Amino acid sequence: MNYRFEIGIEEEEWSNFLQNNTQANIFQSLEYYKSQINNKSSEPITFFVYENEKIVGLALGIIFSNGGRLGKRLTSRAIIIGGPVLSDENDIAILGYFLNEIKKYLKNKVVYLEFRNIWDTSIYKNIFIDNGFSYEEHLDILIDLRKTEDELWNSMTKDRKKSINKGQRELEIRIIDEQSDYQIDLIYNLLKIVYNRVKLPLPSKMFFSSIIRNLDPLGYIKIFGAYRDSKLIGVRLVFCYNKMIYDWYAGADDDFLEYRPNDILIWNILKWGGENGYEVFDFGGAGKPNIPYGVRDYKLKFGGQLVCFGRYQYVFKPIIMTFGRLAIKIKDGLLKHTKR
């Protein structure tokens, strides 16, 4: 074995490695890395493995944290989505070495490391387990965009079709191509409505602005907007990369939900994807098996295949992780109490 582990890389080598790799995805791309630079709430970090001066493995992770210095100590975590990306040759041999090196680098930097899979990694499961990772089942929904428009339509439930027909009568759907500060404010405000309602944290406006600014000119992100009488009432942000559309963030004005902006936006994205050569629509997270989850029930009404790609997690500091989760619960409880 003649492997070499490195942090950082030349841009051309990175792009060339992904060019013909079947595992290539937006979250492991050079362009996504650039979109994360200078974001205050996140820190991108890249890991590479070389064999005889040739790249054979890549993992782009983002280190997230909440709060100030103490919050960072309690909540820092490294999230790697869609990685690692390995060469098609000897990838199993590479992986064990790669995981061990990544752990050594991160052990004093984060509380835990998590790999979020967006394809079937079952052939690697034993290697992750042997390296101390735990596996957690997590569902996803994939829609085949190679189907005809009629086939996509017929795979949906009757109530979804009814909602989409209503949306088509009442709303106009556009792709928002040019991002002014005012438009970003509108988009972000719609996202905040949803995340405030479900009491989930939302990244800063700067986080979205940076990604849009870097990826929109390349066509790697599309923002679909639903308009009612020229007023933007719903948005859906999707990544478009390597023949896959990845559902990312969505928001809608609560005062206009009767017009079904979410349903009509999804339908237009599916049609647009098929017309533009994309093969898969990844609907994002669908919760854990055997645990009721309304979001999953909603997404399944658009058709698609329920899959379980799961996640791998390695905890460096279990006591701090437990304390950090407890602190977040206490903070959330206090916030709820003060809002009453």
Same-domain status, 106 and 206: no
Confidence (pLDDT) at 116: 97
Confidence (pLDDT) at 331: 55
How many CB atoms are located within 10 Å of the residue 130 CB? Answer: 10
Record the tokens describing residue 73, joined without a space: 């100590």
Same-domain status, 217 and 199: yes
Same-domain status, 186 and 54: no
DSSP string, 38-73: T-TTEEEEEEEEEETTEEEEEEEEEEE--SSHHHHH
Same-domain status, 152 and 295: yes
Confidence (pLDDT) at 50: 93
Residue 269: pLDDT band by 50, 70, 90 thresholds?
very high
CA distance 157 to 151: 12
Report the CATH number at residue 158: 3.40.630.30
- Structure confidence by residue, pLDDT tens digits, 290-304: 999 999 999 999 999
Cα-Cα-Cα-Cα dihedral of 197, 198, 199, 204, to 10°? -80
Look at residue 213 and give its three-state secondary structure: helix
Please give the backbone phi and psi of residue 316, each rounded to the nearest 5 degrees, phi first.
-85, -35
Residue 52: pLDDT band by 50, 70, 90 thresholds?
confident
Q: Quick check: 28 and 239 in contact, CB under 8 A?
A: no
Same-domain status, 85 and 180: no
> ∠140-144-145 over CA atoms, to 5°?
125
Same-domain status, 110 and 243: no
Q: How many domains does the chain have?
A: 2
Same-domain status, 193 and 257: yes
Record the tokens describing residue 131, joined without a space: 């390296």
**This prediction's pTM:** 0.90
DSSP 259: G
- Structure confidence by residue, pLDDT tens digits, 102-120: 999 999 999 999 999 999 9
Same-domain status, 165 and 287: yes
Same-domain status, 111 and 180: no
Give me the chain's average pLDDT, please. 90
Q: How far is CA 172 from CA 166, 255, 272, 284, in A?
A: 11, 17, 15, 25
Residue 337: pLDDT band by 50, 70, 90 thresholds?
very low
CA distance 177 to 206: 18
Same-domain status, 288 and 155: yes
Same-domain status, 196 and 334: no
Find the mean pLDDT for residues 64-85. Answer: 84
- Structure confidence by residue, pLDDT tens digits, 174-210: 999 765 666 899 999 999 999 999 888 888 898 899 8
Same-domain status, 156 and 226: yes
Q: Whole domain around residue 37: which residue ranges?
A: 3-138+310-339
